[in-house]
Amino acid sequence: MPHWSRESWRSKRAAHQPAYASEADLSRTGEELSSLPPLVTSWEVEALKAQLAEAAQGKRFLLQGGDCAEQFDECTAGAITNKLKILLQMSLVLVQGSHRPVIRVGRFAGQYAKPRSEEFETREATTLPSYRGDLVNRTGFTGVERAPDPQLLLRAYERSALTLNFIRALVKGGFADLHHPEYWDLDFAQHSPLAAEYHSLARRVVEALQFMENIAGVRTGEMEWVDFFTSHEGLHLIYEEAQTRRAPGGENWYNLSTHFPWIGMRTADPDGAHVEYFRGIANPIGVKVGPGMTGNLLTQLLERLHPHDEPGRLTLIYRFGHKKISECLPRLIEAVRSAGKSVLWCCDPMHGNTRYTADGTKTRHFDEILSELEQAFAIHGQCGSYLGGVHFELTGDDVTECLGGARNLGDSDLKRAYRSEVDPRLNYEQALEMALLIARMMGRTNAAKNDAVV
């Protein structure tokens, strides 16, 4: 392998990087970011890697979710708490269904940069750079707001630190205590058609916990609170490089802006700058793969990113769409098997199922998302591999961005509360319903395995 350094990606083609007016300003900001403290530690990163290694073997299940793009304006106590609440509620449901510990990873505290299919956006006679996430520019349609601004790298780092600080304080203070799932109830969810099913399940978990504690005669230490890890797409390489540090006294380099960065589908070129950067960091990493990923390309990615087959190192987050998964997934499972590598398979049923309504609103339908997931479980069952996680775009808020679900949202409902600037998210109820349905699927898989053993 050629020599790697924090900067070696700079000699490769870096797709989806903004064009800044002043390279000097950008590099000054990069230096400032490098001098600021890291957001996470290498011990946490290694702890997550160990958990992901167990998920790859079927001993844990990964739940990864959050906004498509975080927004600076939504860095509020309410929005952050709601995101934690929905992830906690979903994970409780998944623990019940899978009979395994669930690893909770948020798409937060750094999910501020977006790849865009169009470099420019035109409205009437005006053409301006596309919005690329709050890390890069602003949503408003003026030249000033759309100009990439290096100062936003610092603002994004600060917002990420504020988010993480609040999450850590909530978790440490007992908010995530499994004995008290009532802390996670959302006011507007009381009237949800799913409330009763969720509450009876939560009661069963608390009872099971108390039962175990009565038997053991101690309060269950490790289970009193649950970990939260962070993840984001490692897209903006100046930002990622600036937070890349060597662990004290160690040889390894870590990206300490997040525990679990991933390479987006549009930047997963084996010869590109993103793969070059990611190959040298010791974090567990994800790679998004879609219908264009061939067995041959995947083999090259495995050679570069996963040469030592280190447990927990690589998660393949696939997003084919409900119509293509049956054709695409088996060939990638086969490619990984022939390469003799082990990976964690994670299904992102959102990004392959994006569509537009008649008036041009970007949306996704609950039933198509569910269909991709159902097929994913079935295909892994047939291929003898294991679906170890799911990846969702969701929010704890009461938005109307995706169609269908328990309240059967239709095209005309989308106008009511469409708040995403980029991709449509499952709202609170749709996300919880999805978790209940996945738990059922996993329950069936467990039952089938037990029958086979008997």
Residues that bind ligand PEP (CB under 6 A): 68, 115, 233, 264-266, 288, 319, 351, 423
55 binds, among Co ion, ligand PEP, none (CB under 5 to 8 A by kind): none
Tell me whether residue 265 or residue 439 sits nearer to ligand PEP (CB atom). 265
Nearest-angstrom CA–CA distance, 436 and 441? 9
Q: How far apart are the first and last CA of the chain?
A: 49
- Report the candidate in 379, 378, 306, 375 with the shortest Cα–Cα distance to residue 343: 306
What is the dihedral sign for C-alpha 12, 13, 14, 19?
A: positive
Residue entry with tokens 């160990």? 50
Residue closest to ligand PEP, measured at CB = 264
DSSP 105-143: EES-SS------S-SEEEETTEEEEPP--TTT--SSSSH
CA distances from 428 to 71, 90, 346, 372 (A): 18, 10, 21, 20
Judge whether 323 and 351 are in contact, CB under 8 Å: no
Interacting positions 60-89 with Co ion (CB under 5 A): 68
Report the nearest approach of ligand PEP to the CB of residue 264 (Å): 3
| Residue 317 lies near Co ion (rule: CB under 5 A) | no
259 binds, among Co ion, ligand PEP, none (CB under 5 to 8 A by kind): none
Report the nearest approach of ligand PEP to the CB of residue 209 (Å): 34
- Report the candidate in 65, 160, 70, 69 with the shortest Cα–Cα distance to residue 104: 65
Interacting positions 412-451 with Co ion (CB under 5 A): 423
Tell me whether residue 131 or residue 198 sits nearer to ligand PEP (CB atom). 131
Report the nearest approach of ligand PEP to the CB of residue 334 (Å): 21
Report the nearest approach of ligand PEP to the CB of residue 412 (Å): 26
Report the nearest approach of ligand PEP to the CB of residue 99 (Å): 29
Report the nearest approach of ligand PEP to the CB of residue 251 (Å): 31
Judge whether 155 and 72 are in contact, CB under 8 Å: yes
Tell me whether residue 81 or residue 267 sits nearer to ligand PEP (CB atom). 267
101 binds, among Co ion, ligand PEP, none (CB under 5 to 8 A by kind): none
115 binds, among ligand PEP, Co ion, none (CB under 5 to 8 A by kind): ligand PEP
Q: Is residue 363 helix, strand or coil?
A: strand
* Footprint on this chain of Co ion (rule: CB under 5 A): 68, 423
